[in-house]
Structure 1
Amino acid sequence: MSTTTLKLPDDLKERIAAVAADAGKTPHAFMVDALAAQTALAERRRAFVDAAVRAEQDVAEYGVVYDADAVFCYLQDTLAGKRARRPKAVKL
């Protein structure tokens, strides 16, 4: 494990100490958890954006899409146990 130094404004350091104590954690543990959570969030956001870019490229290349309302209705009916008609792909 490596050491990293953070220079925090005094008011932020006090706020972290207070919420960490309320959570039953040390300020260090609170900051490590916060950094881990923000890193995971940023990674999920990046994966989402990457998937959207790939989808946009697929649409540009193949020109095939599904109507969102039709897909939503299909999923609702399927989850409700109803017989559902699968949506058809539409060429742009």
Structure 2
Amino acid sequence: MPNLSVKLDEAMRQRLHDIAMQEGVTPHALMLRAIGHELDRAEAEGAFVRRALQARQRVEASGMAIDGLAFDAYLRARVRGASAQRPTPQDIGKPESKEPDA
């Protein structure tokens, strides 16, 4: 496995050592776990942004969207266990295509 050097100031190195000791792991193991968590978080955030952009493209292409307040009321009713009809998409119109200036 290739090595990777990480330079830490003394305060962070001490924090790393203290937390590793509290958790009964080596500083190396704690760093690997922390890096893994951050990579997982960054990948999940990237996937969330990609899904949001795809949803936006679908709305722009179709011109249809569900009213946010109506969907909020629907979700709140469902959480309370009440029966509620899911709001239907409304026509918000397709955005006008922008032609480049001549």
Tell me the TM-score normalized by structure 1.
Answer: 0.86
Q: CA deviation at 1:88?
A: 1.6
Show structure 2 runs of 5+ residues with no match.
93-102
Aligned to 1:10: 10
Which residue of the partner structure matches residue 52 of structure 1? 52
2:84 aligned residue: 84
Q: Deviations over 1:17-43 (max 9, x none)?
A: 011112222101110110011001101
Give 1:51's aligned amino acid.
R
Give 2:55's aligned amino acid: A
Relative to its length, the structure with more helix (as a share) is 1
Q: CA RMSD in A?
A: 1.5
Task: State TM-score, norm by structure 2.
Answer: 0.79
Asked which structure has the greater CA Rg, the reply is 2
- Structure 1 residue runs of 5 or longer lacking an equivalent are none
Give runs of ≥4 in structure 1 deviating > 3 Å. Answer: none
Work out whether 1:73 is the aligned partner of 2:78.
Answer: no
- 1:78 Cα deviation (Å)? 2.4
Aligned to 1:41: 41
Q: Deviations over 1:54-87 (max 9, x none)?
A: 1111111111111112112112222333221220
Identity value in percent: 33
Letter in 2 for 1:86: R
The number of residue pairs the alignment matches comes to 92
